[in-house]
């Protein structure tokens, strides 16, 4: 243990020590310390003063301690390492944060009393190391005997979130003492760490197809269910007899695993009786929360002994089951007629407003402003004629002109300017296109899995720290039970997911195999994009809620995005970023209530590439789940109540014109009376 001398003089005989160690390890030996799904607690334990480990239950000594004789000139460095025992036995997906760690380390100086030493912690998980530093508190004070505590601390995984069997799990404590005294490390449940593991798997328990290889395939019956797992670059092969048929079908169900560990699902190799590989099959790929199902179909193959092989790549693992089927021509599972023909986004899935009381919205037009200008010109020509009524001109006419100008001209001009697309703003089509391009780039072979996870899980494709500016044109607003208004965007209702996704495939310059099938990267992108785009639109539709009745059909969304815990499955996370104006608690509530019960994405890689995206909406989403504070702004004019103000101004001008007309009419009558020919002098 570093350079430390023996901590205490041993007083027990060697035999007694061995018996004591056996008693201590008895309950521990029956428990696996492997990091697995759920909250994995590992306790700092020492079965002897110099034999320490991370155990699944508190065992060993309650306190280890040592008296040291140190000084600032000759400080004492103490290092204690805790290795998890037994060693890791399962493949696990590590979390990005450490849930909690407590280390109850105390120091009492001979002359100065209780103090807190400077402590360095190093947590080694596989090939990654995360370090924390605690400053020392040399002067006596309150709380010096309390443990060192870490809560929700980020782990420095560098994208390496997989913990493989036999990978090290180690905690290293290092502290420096510069004065004489006694240090104590309290255990037996006082010192521990917690990791919330999202996914783990017993590789040996799932790899039941072994031994099998291309040279020695496992003999089996074709039309039965087979279970196995592809572990790294395994080559799993099965041999079987093919009898009379027209169509050979193979259904492979890949169990859902995290993106970081999923096998690539390349075409299986089917070797015919003559030893040659069969031509490429027709393929349908279907994906949901629990699995990816690949269906392959070959036609007009000879009878005889066949072998079927699945190949994996290094650093990957995925369990599978496969079933064979001999059939005759008909509407089988690969027939394109099983697809809907078009995959529109299921608009209204997050609709909460009352459609029967919807208010139709339009953009601020300029026809009203044109009529106002003509009215101003007409009244102006009349109003600026020579008049002796200054009170009427400046008391009624001038205020009327100001009100009409403000409500009928300046307000529409301001509103029209606020409705145009601003610099840096996306339209909905732009946002969809950007998102698809992002997923296309991230799904390229060789892109680190952590990058793919981050890009896929980002809400609307916006990473933490990025700014989303979006211009939306709304068709109508529907009142909700809580007094708010839900906005309906026609572009969402008419968006065809298949058209948008295959459009990106065409823009990406997709290549096909010699048999005309899509490349594996393209298939991966199509399935990923179908799911991600549906969830992005679902979240956008659910958040399009405003507090007041809109006055214009144009809305602007301007928000900064920050990190958030992702939801959904570990294989395809979703909604991992959130608008900064929405609190973390509100976002988690929204995620849990809005996330669909089931999502299924199917691709037919056949004569006509077809895509189906279907899902079952959540039945627990209501108005109380929609958070306040989304920075969604309605395009507005210069003032509120501009129409009323303009009408008041117009009424004042009409009154002024009427009064001026009556005044002039009365003056003309008086003039005629004064200068009538009968009353003139002769």
Which range has the worst mean pLDDT, 1-5, 460-464, 538-542?
1-5
Residue 48's pLDDT is 81
- DSSP characters over 387-426: -S-HHHIIIIIHHHHHHHHIIIIIHHHHHHHHHSPPTTPB
SS3 state at 476: strand
Angle (deg, nearest 10), helices 497-507 and 428-442? 60
Residue 336's pLDDT is 59
Place of tokens 């193979």: 250
Q: Write down the pTM of the prediction.
A: 0.74
Residue 532's pLDDT is 92
- In this predicted model, what pLDDT tens digit does every residue of 669-678 receive, in sequence order? 776 777 665 5
Residue 6's pLDDT is 40
Per-chain mean pLDDT for the chain? 81
Residue 141's pLDDT is 59
What torsion, rounded to 10 degrees, do the Cα atoms 454, 460, 465, 471 define? 170
Residue 440's pLDDT is 92
Residue 598's pLDDT is 85
Q: Are 187 and 117 in contact (CB under 8 A)?
A: no
Question: For the residues 543-552, what does the mean pLDDT come to?
Answer: 89
- DSSP characters over 138-198: -S--TTTTSPEEEEEEEP--TT--EE-TT--EEEEEEEEE-SSEEEEEE-TTSSEEEEEES
Res. 618: pLDDT tops 90:
no
Q: Are 169 and 68 in contact (CB under 8 A)?
A: no
pLDDT band per the 50, 70, 90 thresholds, residue 402: low
Question: For the residues 123-135, what does the mean pLDDT come to?
Answer: 93
Out of 202-211, 338-347, 475-484, give the one with best mean pLDDT: 475-484
Residue 114's pLDDT is 77
In CATH terms, are 14-201 and 204-334 the same topology?
yes
- In this predicted model, what pLDDT tens digit does every residue of 261-272 receive, in sequence order? 999 898 999 999
- Residue 621 CB-half CA count within 13 A: 25
pLDDT band per the 50, 70, 90 thresholds, residue 241: very high
Closest among 86, 94, 163, 128 to 317, alpha carbons compared: 163
Which range has the worst mean pLDDT, 6-15, 157-166, 624-633?
6-15
Distance (Å, whole) CA 397 – CA 79: 90
Closest among 97, 82, 81, 28 to 56, alpha carbons compared: 28
14-201 maps to which CATH number?
A: 2.60.120
Q: Which helix (H) or strand (E) holds 103?
A: strand 97-109
pLDDT band per the 50, 70, 90 thresholds, residue 348: confident
Which range has the worst mean pLDDT, 380-389, 631-640, 664-673?
380-389
Residue 405's pLDDT is 61
Residue 413's pLDDT is 59
Distance (Å, whole) CA 310 – CA 214: 9
SS3 state at 572: coil
- In this predicted model, what pLDDT tens digit does every residue of 510-528 receive, in sequence order? 666 655 567 788 888 998 9
Indicate the class that CATH gives domain 204-334. Answer: mainly beta
Res. 182: pLDDT tops 70:
yes
Residue 329's pLDDT is 63
Closest among 51, 154, 157 to 101, alpha carbons compared: 154
Residue 435's pLDDT is 95
Domain range summary for the chain, segments of one domain joined by +:
14-201, 204-334, 365-418+639-674, 421-634
> Tell me, what DSSP letter sits at residue 336?
G
Which range has the worst mean pLDDT, 256-265, 322-331, 355-364, 399-408?
399-408
Distance (Å, whole) CA 665 – CA 677: 20
Which range has the worst mean pLDDT, 7-11, 111-115, 157-161, 555-559?
7-11
Q: Identify the residue with better confidence: 211 or 417.
A: 211
Res. 628: pLDDT tops 60:
yes
Residues 6 or more apart whose Cβ sits within 8 Å of residue 529: 436, 439, 440, 501, 504
Res. 653: pLDDT tops 70:
no
pLDDT > 90: percent of the chain:
38
Which range has the worst mean pLDDT, 152-156, 380-384, 429-433?
380-384
- In this predicted model, what pLDDT tens digit does every residue of 487-501 receive, in sequence order? 999 999 889 898 899
Q: Are 17 and 49 in contact (CB under 8 A)?
A: no
Residues composing the chain: 682
What torsion, rounded to 10 degrees, do the Cα atoms 105, 109, 112, 118 define? -40
Distance (Å, whole) CA 14 – CA 28: 21
Place of tokens 């690539």: 264
- In this predicted model, what pLDDT tens digit does every residue of 169-178 receive, in sequence order? 999 999 988 8
- In this predicted model, what pLDDT tens digit does every residue of 20-61 receive, in sequence order? 444 444 444 444 557 888 768 999 999 887 789 999 999 999
Residue 16's pLDDT is 37
Q: Cα 302 from chain centroid? A: 48
Place of tokens 């920050």: 562
- In this predicted model, what pLDDT tens digit does every residue of 359-397 receive, in sequence order? 988 765 555 566 666 665 655 555 555 555 656 665 566
């Amino acid at each position: 243990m570093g350079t430390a001398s023996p901590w205490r003089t041993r007083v027990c005989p060697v035999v007694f020590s061995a018996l004591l160690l056996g008693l201590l390890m008895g309950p521990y030996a029956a428990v696996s310390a492997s990091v697995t799904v759920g909250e994995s607690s590992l306790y700092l334990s020492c079965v002897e003063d110099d034999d320490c480990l991370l155990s699944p239950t508190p065992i060993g000594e309650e306190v280890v301690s040592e008296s040291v004789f140190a000084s600032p000139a000759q400080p004492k460095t103490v290092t204690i390492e805790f290795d998890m025992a037994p060693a890791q036995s399962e493949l696990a997906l590590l979390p990005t944060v450490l849930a909690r760690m407590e280390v109850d380390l105390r120091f009492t100086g001979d002359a100065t009393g209780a103090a807190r030493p400077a402590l360095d912690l190093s947590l080694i998980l596989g090939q990654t190391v995360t370090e924390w530093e605690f400053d020392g508190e040399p002067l006596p004070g309150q709380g010096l005997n309390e443990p060192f505590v870490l809560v929700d601390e980020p782990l420095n995984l560098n994208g390496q979130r997989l913990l493989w069997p036999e990978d090290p799990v180690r905690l290293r404590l290092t502290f420096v003492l510069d004065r004489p005294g006694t240090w104590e490390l309290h255990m037996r449940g006082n010192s521990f760490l917690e990791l919330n593991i999202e996914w783990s798997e017993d590789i040996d328990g799932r790899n039941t197809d072994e031994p099998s290889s291309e040279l020695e395939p496992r003999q089996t019956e074709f039309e039965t269910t087979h279970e196995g797992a592809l572990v790294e670059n395994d080559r799993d092969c099965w041999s079987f007899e093919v009898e009379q048929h027209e169509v050979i079908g193979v259904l492979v169900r890949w169990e859902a695993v995290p993106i970081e560990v999923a096998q690539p699902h390349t075409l299986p190799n089917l070797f015919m009786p003559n030893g040659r590989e069969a031509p490429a099959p027709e393929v349908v790929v279907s994906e949901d929360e629990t699995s990816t199902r690949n269906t392959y179909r070959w036609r007009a193959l000879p009878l005889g002994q066949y072998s079927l092989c699945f190949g994996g790549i290094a650093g990957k693992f995925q369990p599978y089951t496969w079933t064979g089927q001999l059939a005759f021509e008909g509407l089988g599972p690969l027939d394109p007629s099983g697809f809907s023909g078009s995959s529109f986004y299921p608009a209204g899935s997050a609709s909460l407003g009352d459609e029967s009381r919807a208010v139709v919205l339009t953009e601020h037009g300029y026809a009203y402003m044109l009529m106002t200008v003509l009215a101003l010109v007409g009244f102006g020509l009349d109003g600026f004629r020579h008049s002796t009524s200054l009170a009427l001109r400046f008391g009624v006419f001038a205020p009327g002109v100001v009100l009409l100008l403000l409500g009928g001209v300046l307000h529409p001009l301001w509103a029209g300017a606020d409705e145009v697309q601003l610099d840096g703003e996306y339209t909905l089509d732009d946002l969809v296109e950007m998102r698809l391009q992002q997923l296309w780039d991230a799904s390229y072979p060789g892109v680190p899995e952590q990058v793919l996870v981050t890009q896929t899980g980002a809400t609307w494709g916006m990473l933490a720290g990025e700014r989303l500016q979006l211009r939306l044109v709304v068709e109508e607003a529907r009142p909700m039970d809580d007094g708010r208004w839900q906005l309906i965007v026609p572009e969402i209702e008419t968006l065809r997911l298949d058209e948008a996704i295959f459009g990106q495939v065409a823009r990406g310059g997709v290549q096909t195999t010699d048999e005309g099938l899509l490349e594996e990267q393209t298939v991966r992108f199509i399935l990923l994009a179908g799911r991600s785009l549906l969830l992005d639109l679902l979240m956008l539709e659910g958040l399009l809620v405003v507090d007041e009745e809109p006055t214009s059909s144009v809305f602007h969304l301007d928000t900064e995005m920050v990190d958030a815990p992702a939801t959904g499955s570990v294989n395809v996370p979703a909604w991992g970023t959130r608008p900064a104006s929405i609190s973390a608690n509100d976002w988690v509530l929204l995620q849990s209530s809005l996330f669909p019960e089931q999502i299924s994405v199917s691709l037919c890689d056949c004569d006509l590439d077809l895509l189906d995206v279907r899902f079952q909406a959540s039945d627990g989403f209501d108005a109380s789940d929609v958070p306040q504070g989304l920075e969604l702004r309605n395009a507005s004019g210069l003032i509120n109540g501009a129409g009323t103000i303009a009408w008041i101004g117009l009424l004042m001008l009409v009154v002024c014109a009427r009064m001026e007309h009556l005044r002039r009419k009365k003056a003309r009558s008086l003039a005629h009376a004064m200068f009538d020919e009968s009353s003139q002098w002769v």
